[in-house]
Amino acid sequence: MFYRATIRRLKELGIIGINRRNLDYLLELNCRSLYPLVDDKEIMAQLATRFEIPIPQIFDIIHSPQEIHHIKETLAKLSSCVLKPANGCGGRGIWLLEKRNKSLLDLSKIDQSSWVRPNSETVAMREVENHAIEVISGGFSITGQPDRLLIQERITLHPFFAKICPIGIPDIRIVVKEQEPIMAMLRLPTFDSEGRANLHQKALGVGIDLDTGISTLAIYGENYINTHPDTGKPISQLRIPHWNEFLNLAIKIARVTNLGFLGVDCVLDPNRGPLLLEANARPGLMIQWANGIGFLKLSEWS
């Protein structure tokens, strides 16, 4: 549907494309030297800690092939985790893992199919280590250069979203321009996205009214929908808990990074409230479709 939209319709909605984003937003508002602050998830975590911004706990960081053996020791102490490239993008290279037997701490017994991914696929330690090598080699890096693997806390599903989402952890993307939130969407994982909250991986994008925190439109692939494809539950008119806290968190990230245009991804923890997942100096543009309006139209109103 989106790719068949006419030029006239795009102009009516104020929808911008990649080239317009790059010229008028990224080059105009973002200093290139600041990109590593958000591109590198390890640096972003250090910055968040410095400014007391809540984030999921990082259990370990694997910097080189020589440190691969640390993974078994770290995972033996955990019941679940997220494996994430430090310089990845678009959800590529992220593995969500849960231990099949949470009481199993014996290192000698956790090699064979000890972990389960959201799609119920079992994963042996050998496969985890192979994935780590691919990450460290730069297989998912933005630049293609050698990377690092973060072993991070996997957030528990908040009861509010448990009613809607059968798999994975939803997150919220807030686009901030010159330290003011201008657009937001809820990203709901699906079975097709294998539990990942990324639209390029077939997650849902649900527009959110900035003033009220209430969900509006929802896109799935190229179509607008009204219910979650896996549960049939309505996904519009949902009032997001702690909405003002989400907005304040996004504003704080914009201030500490000094980036004029960025996307801030947050998650709702049942006990700690909104947490920062990551920030993006080149936020995608599908958020415009999820809200039924483009960035240019917002500029006219401001």
- pLDDT digit string, tens, across residues 15-39: 999 999 999 999 999 999 999 999 9
Rounded to whole angstroms, how far apart are CA atoms 170 and 227?
A: 15
Mean pLDDT value of segment 107-128: 75
pTM attached to this predicted model: 0.90
User: DSSP strand E in 1-85: where?
Assistant: 58-62, 80-85
Cβ-based burial of 297 (10 A; exposed 0-12, middle 13-18, buried ≥19) = middle
- pLDDT digit string, tens, across residues 230-249: 999 999 999 999 999 999 99
Distances (CA, A) of 242 to 38, 272, 275: 24, 11, 11
Show me where the domains of the chain are located: 7-54+156-301, 58-152
Does the structure show a pLDDT above 90 at 299? no
Homologous superfamily in CATH for domain 7-54+156-301: ATP-grasp fold, B domain (3.30.470.20)
